[in-house]
Amino acid sequence: MDKLKIVGGTKLKGQVRISGAKNSALPAMAASLLTVGDVILENLPMVNDIFTTRRLLRELGVGVEFDSNRSGRFRAEKVLSVEAPYDLVKTMRASVLVLGPLLARTGHARVSLPGGCAIGARPINLHIKGFEKLGAQIRTEHGYVDASAERLTGAEISFEKITVTGTENLMMAATLASGRTVLKNAACEPEVIDLAELLNKMGAKVSGAGTSTITIEGVPELHGATHRVIPDRIEAGTFLAAGAITNGELDLLDCNPTHLASVIEKFRETGVNIETAPDRIMLRSNGNLRAADVVTKEYPGFATDMQAQYMALMTQATGSSVITENIFENRFMHASELMRMGANIQINGSHAVVKGKTCLTGANVIASDLRASASLILAALVAKGFTVVDRVYHLDRGYEKIEEKLRAAGAQIERLK
Ligand code: EPU
């Protein structure tokens, strides 16, 4: 199992190119199941979740080819299987995103129930309720969700809770349903808008994406399309945190600052200087970080996927900050590892109080999930001595060559095989 060894104490300086968004690419790849035509996706991030989805799609009968330029061609001329098996779903929950497209295209889907994960229970009950509203019969047995429908019928679906992949799954299914579907209390994330744009290029009639009400007029069939995946806002936010925590100067290229508005605003509140251009973010940090509270929320609020990185940053800020996690019930696993490095953090339910500034020291630490891994790397970048981060496979699921990008900006980081 790979590990990362990081020697702390270097200011990061230079340019970092941001990759395509994992959480946009995953539903976009699943959407290729909706048509016999070629779906070409550009700017795919070369991360393990994308390779897992490629494997899943191939098992379902989709022809997939990647070129060396980060583009993928997906051709679902025939769907040969409608089952997303347990061994794939357990490594990547986003596999449930094939449920909607398979059901809409073939009238049947069998997807393993994902089960809990390191950040919370994460049920898919809201996806299931939505499919039932569209007329699907759903049975859950032997750990699988078995969904079938002659043809889905448009309906009004009001989500009890905002769900990103739930919104995406239902939106994809509704494109081929008969009649109109209205999704209320829908997720407004940029990745949802990106998926709607792809679906519309494929001939779907989706309007309102980016607001809490999305309307989909069903059409009999979709066709192929070419689409460029949006930049990864969480990767960009993670590099902003790396620049800020090391008192560095970073210039992020190929990103979209508007998708990071709440993160940029929060970082500015802590004393970090940030300037933006349409596809660029310039950061300069002078080492005088101030504590600032944060509450995670659905978009456009501060993303839960940036909470762990922000906690690492707050260990280096003067004062106390209260970090409130509102989206997932168990997303503070990184705190105990940060504490082993010397951080002063108290957890009370969904609140973490971080007292800074603390002197961190390198240690052997274990990453519990993707963003926790990023948090530990950030802490290691400022810790005295060296840190070894174990279970780097979490990181490789969602960050493309993070150690190479950090090393190019001056970090002392190497992968131990
Ligand atoms: N929820 C339910 N029932 C459902 C669906 C969700 O109770 O049927 C709850 C969840 O348990 C959670 C909340 O609703 O408490 C929000 O979950 P959501 O469904 O929005 O999360 P997701 O769609 O499974 C996506 C991202 C996550 C990101 C969350 C929140 C993808 C592939 N994943 O997950 O990304 O944290 O939205 O923004 O888009 C990551 O990239 O590290 C990551 C975990």
DSSP-derived letter for residue 340 is H
Mean per-residue pLDDT of the chain: 97
Kindly report, residue by residue over 128-154, the tens digit of the pLDDT. Answer: 999 999 999 999 999 999 999 998 999
User: Is residue 124 within 6 Å of ligand 1 at its C-beta?
Assistant: yes
293, 320 contact by CB (below 8 A): no
Q: Please indicate whether residue 308, judged by its CB atom, sits closer than 6 Å to ligand 1.
A: no
Nearest CA to ligand 1 atom 10: 122
Tokens of 61: 């009968």
With cut-offs at 50, 70 and 90, classify the pLDDT of residue 117. confident
What pLDDT is recorded for position 121?
82
Instruction: Say what angle helices 164-175 and 22-31 make with each other, to 10 degrees.
Output: 20
pLDDT tens track for 330-344: 899 999 999 999 999
pLDDT grade, residue 379 (50/70/90)? very high
pLDDT tens per residue across span 339-362: 999 999 999 999 999 999 999 999
Whether residue 117 lies in the annotated active site: yes
Is the CB of residue 371 below 6 angstroms from any atom belonging to ligand 1? yes
Phi and psi dihedrals of 160, rounded to 5?
A: -65, -30
Note the pLDDT of residue 154: 98
Distance 162 CA to ligand 1 centre (A): 9
Instruction: Print burial letters for 19-54: b (CB count within 10 Å at least 16), e (below 16).
Output: bbbbbbbbbbbbbbbbbebbbbbebbbebbbbebbb
Q: Which amino acid is located at 415 in the chain?
A: R
Q: What is the mean pLDDT of residues 51-68?
A: 97
Q: Tens of pLDDT along 395-405?
A: 999 999 999 99
% of the chain at pLDDT higher than 90:
95
Strand 294-295 relative to strand 319-324, pairing: parallel
- The runs of H, that is alpha helices, within 42-98 are 48-60, 86-89
Q: Is 327 in the pocket of ligand 1 (CB under 6 A)?
A: yes
**Residue 393 CA, distance from chain mean position:** 15
**Which residue's CA is the closest to the ligand 1 atom numbered 36?**
305
Q: Which atom of ligand 1 is nearest to the CA of 370?
A: 42
119: pLDDT confidence band, cut at 50, 70 and 90?
confident
Residue type, 291: A
